[in-house]
């Protein structure tokens, strides 16, 4: 199996700051250091020799060094002339750097090629990484480009990096890693390309890059080393790792990776949960699903689905002949897809049970006690639909209030409930109030869907918003001595139900809640 390294770029403006970054990178667990000399001001060959020596002295003897002096046209920081950049790479080899990274386009010029090859032949262990970058999109033929690099310099490590505009663009890089052997690097830039950075190790990519901190990133979409190691279980990833993830837009601040990866880690499972940024629209969703199903070697086993794709997931499940639980059909939305090794798909909705469990356990009642309970549901979107379906199943008397009254009317008609506009909320007459709108959600934390005077101590108030955990609505409810249920409880319940569907095992509920609260704080 090909060794995969976790590389941390050192992108400082002077040697002192570089030495600090080197120390921090080694302490954080860097397996290779990439000295990005194009970030250094007043760069010289001598400065690079000293930097290599400083890296060795910092205790990086066992940690190989890549020295890069990137062409500004290919993402370099300071636009140093080609001659100086070549001098720097030659000096790095002389100083004992294990790898130099040079751009394929510049290597094609014979005089540059000769200079590099002579320096490599004089170096005891130096190797060449030949890199190609495309910042504007995919390569036309990434496999052909990989072959071309090896035909030009068979001993080089090809490095192919391009911008992914959509997660579906990542499959070019992943296919390359799957279809080729030997040392090679294939990564996608941009938020849509993040999975290639996490999965490089699973598919034997020679290195993946992670920054020391967000502000030190040397390419768009680069994760920090602590995100890669702590959140995405980098050290535990291997060729057999099974994949899971959340399909959403936006996905960057989703709490699902934290909760599921903590669950996998606590049970010692060889599983990894990814953030899957799939832009709104059924076409992109369907093609992402077809892409992962066609590639069984990716080993995807389960997906959480959230805004804006729960309806797309149901439509896809129907078209793919999936086994859909009747409840998901009734709600009209799927938030969980389980994929078998043989290609079978099962579709579920865990929001319904998550909400009902949050309500009944807080109120200390059985589901059957919901019969004839007066409930006000504020909002008529996806979450509202799941909660109305659940409460309706057990005979609650529901009135739906929504900003867009037509949506409230549609939902009310589907489930035989009453409906009204938000202006009627001041005449509220309910024992249970459920906020299913995004009102009060971060960053609009000073907003509440209700006026303070509407609440009293006989009520239970459930806010499905979970960021922040204590919304203004819940603060108002506490002040009125009402019983409160926070959105974190529902979020944790649905995640635990998904975990059960994904793994057949129980997640530690306390750990799950703690993980969510840590992320929110």
Which residues are part of the catalytic machinery?
310
Which of 465, 474, 496, 512 touches ligand NAP by CB under 6 A?
A: 465
Question: Of the listed pieces 68-76, 149-157, 274-282, 461-469, which binds ligand NAP according to CB under 6 A?
Answer: 461-469
Q: And the tokens for 155?
A: 């001993």
Is 13 in contact with 77 (CB distance < 8 Å)? no
Question: Of the listed pieces 57-65, 193-201, 278-286, 458-466, which binds ligand NAP according to CB under 6 A?
Answer: 458-466
Helix axis angle, 487-503 to 509-520, nearest 10°: 130
Q: What is the closest distance, in whole angstroms, from the C-beta atom of residue 258 to ligand NAP in the complex? A: 14
Is 301 in contact with 338 (CB distance < 8 Å)? yes
Which of 75, 257, 302, 382 touches ligand NAP by CB under 6 A?
A: 382
Q: And the tokens for 313?
A: 């997931």
Q: How many helices (H) and strands (E) does the chain have?
A: 19, 20
Binding status of residue 119 toward ligand NAP by CB under 6 A: no
Number of residues that bind ligand NAP (CB under 6 A): 23
CA atoms within 13 A on the CB side of 340: 8
What is d(CA 459, CA 483) in angstroms, rounded to the nearest whole number?
6
Q: Considering beta carbons, is residue 359 or 436 the nearer one to ligand NAP?
A: 436
Could you please report the per-residue DSSP string of 404-444? SHHHHHHHHHHHT-EEEEGGGGGG---SEEEE-SSTT-TT-
Q: Considering beta carbons, is residue 57 or 280 the nearer one to ligand NAP?
A: 280
Backbone φ and ψ of 45, nearest 5°: -60, -40
Locate the DSSP E strands across 190-230: 207-209
What is d(CA 491, CA 132) in angstroms, rounded to the nearest whole number?
43
Residues 6+ apart with CB under 8 A from 359: 370, 391, 432, 434, 460, 462, 485
Which of 401, 491, 499, 502 touches ligand NAP by CB under 6 A?
A: 491
Helix axis angle, 256-266 to 487-503, nearest 10°: 50
Q: Considering beta carbons, is residue 439 or 474 the nearer one to ligand NAP?
A: 439
Which of 37, 437, 448, 476 touches ligand NAP by CB under 6 A?
A: 437
Q: Per-residue string for binding with ligand NAP, 81-100, x by CB under 6 A?
A: --------------------
Q: What is the CA radius of gyration of the chain?
A: 27
Q: What is the closest distance, in whole angstroms, from the C-beta atom of residue 449 to ligand NAP in the complex? A: 6
Q: For 130-160, give one letter per residue: b (16+ CB within 10 A) or e.
A: bbbbbeeebbeebeebbeebbeebeebbbbb
Q: What is the closest distance, in whole angstroms, from the C-beta atom of residue 480 to ligand NAP in the complex? A: 21
Which of 494, 498, 503, 515 touches ligand NAP by CB under 6 A?
A: 494
Q: Per-residue string for binding with ligand NAP, 280-319, x by CB under 6 A?
A: ---------------------------x------------
Which of 99, 171, 466, 499 touches ligand NAP by CB under 6 A?
A: 466
Binding status of residue 15 toward ligand NAP by CB under 6 A: no
Question: Of the listed pieces 11-19, 211-219, 314-322, 437-445, which binds ligand NAP according to CB under 6 A?
Answer: 437-445
Q: What is the closest distance, in whole angstroms, from the C-beta atom of residue 334 to ligand NAP in the complex? A: 13
Question: Of the listed pieces 135-143, 231-239, 320-328, 382-390, which binds ligand NAP according to CB under 6 A?
Answer: 382-390
Q: Per-residue string for binding with ligand NAP, 396-435, x by CB under 6 A?
A: ------xxx--x----------------------------
Q: And the tokens for 127?
A: 């190797």
**How many angstroms separate the Cα of 379 from the Cα of each of 135, 401, 422, 479?**
42, 6, 9, 23
Question: Of the listed pieces 12-20, 393-401, 464-472, 510-518, which binds ligand NAP according to CB under 6 A?
Answer: 464-472
What is d(CA 221, CA 95) in angstroms, rounded to the nearest whole number?
32
Please list every residue from 145 through 174 that binds ligand NAP, using CB under 6 A: none
* C-alpha angle 185-186-192 in degrees, rounded to nearest 5: 145
Task: Using alpha carbons, select from 276, 274, 347, 353 the residue that is nearest to residue 312.
Answer: 347
**Contact residues for ligand NAP, defined by CB under 6 A:** 307, 379-384, 402-404, 407, 436-439, 441, 464-466, 487, 490-491, 494
């Amino acid at each position: 199996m090909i060794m995969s390294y976790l590389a941390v770029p050192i992108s400082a403006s002077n040697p002192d700051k570089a030495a600090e970054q080197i120390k921090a990178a080694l302490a954080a667990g860097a397996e290779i250091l990439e000295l990005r000399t194009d970030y250094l001001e007043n760069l010289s060959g001598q400065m690079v020799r000293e930097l290599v020596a400083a890296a060795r002295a910092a205790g990086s003897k066992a940690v190989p060094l890549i020295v890069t002096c990137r062409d500004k046209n290919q993402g370099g920081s300071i636009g140093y002339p080609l001659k100086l950049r070549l001098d720097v790479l030659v000096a790095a080899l002389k100083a004992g750097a294990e790898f130099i990274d040079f751009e394929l386009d510049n290597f094609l010029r014979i005089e540059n090629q000769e200079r590099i090859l002579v320096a490599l032949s004089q170096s005891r262990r130096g190797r060449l990484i030949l890199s190609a970058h495309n910042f504007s999109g995919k390569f036309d033929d990434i496999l052909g480009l990989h072959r071309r690099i090896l035909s030009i310099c068979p001993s080089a490590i090809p490095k192919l990096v391009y911008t992914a505009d959509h997660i579906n663009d990542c499959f070019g890089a992943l296919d390359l890693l799957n279809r080729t052997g030997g040392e090679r690097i294939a990564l996608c830039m941009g938020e849509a390309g993040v999975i290639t950075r996490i999965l490089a190790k699973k598919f034997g990519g020679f290195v993946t890059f992670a920054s020391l901190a967000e502000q030190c990133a040397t390419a768009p979409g680069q994760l920090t080393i602590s995100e890669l190691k702590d959140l995405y279980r980098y050290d535990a990833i291997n060729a057999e790792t099974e994949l899971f993830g959340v399909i959403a837009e936006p996905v960057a601040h989703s709490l699902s990776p934290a909760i599921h990866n903590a669950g996998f880690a606590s049970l010692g499972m060889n599983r990894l949960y990814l953030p899957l940024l799939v832009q709104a629209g059924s076409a992109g969703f369907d093609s992402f699903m077809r892409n992962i199903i066609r590639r069984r070697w990716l080993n995807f086993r389960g997906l959480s689905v959230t805004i804006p794709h729960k309806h797309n997931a149901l439509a896809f499940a129907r078209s793919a002949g999936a086994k859909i639980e009747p409840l998901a059909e009734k709600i009209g939305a799927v938030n969980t897809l389980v994929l078998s090794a043989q290609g079978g798909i099962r579709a579920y909705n865990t929001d319904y049970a998550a909400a009902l469990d949050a309500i009944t356990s807080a109120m200390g009642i059985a589901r059957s006690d919901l019969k004839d309970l007066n409930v006000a549901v504020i909002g008529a979107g996806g979450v509202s639909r799941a909660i109305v379906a659940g409460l309706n199943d057990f005979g609650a008397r529901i009135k739906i209030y929504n900003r867009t009254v037509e949506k409230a009317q549609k939902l009310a008609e589907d489930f035989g409930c009453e409906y009204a506009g938000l202006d009627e909320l001041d005449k509220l007459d309910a024992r249970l109030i459920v906020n299913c709108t995004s009102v009060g959600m971060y960053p609009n934390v000073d907003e509440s869907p209700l006026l303070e005077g509407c609440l009293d101590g006989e009520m239970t108030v459930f806010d499905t918003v979970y960021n922040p955990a204590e919304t203004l609505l819940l603060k108002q409810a506490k002040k009125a001595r009402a019983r409160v249920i926070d959105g974190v409880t529902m979020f944790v319940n649905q995640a635990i139900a998904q975990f059960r569907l994904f793994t057949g095992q129980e997640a530690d509920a306390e750990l799950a809640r703690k993980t969510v609260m840590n992320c929110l704080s």
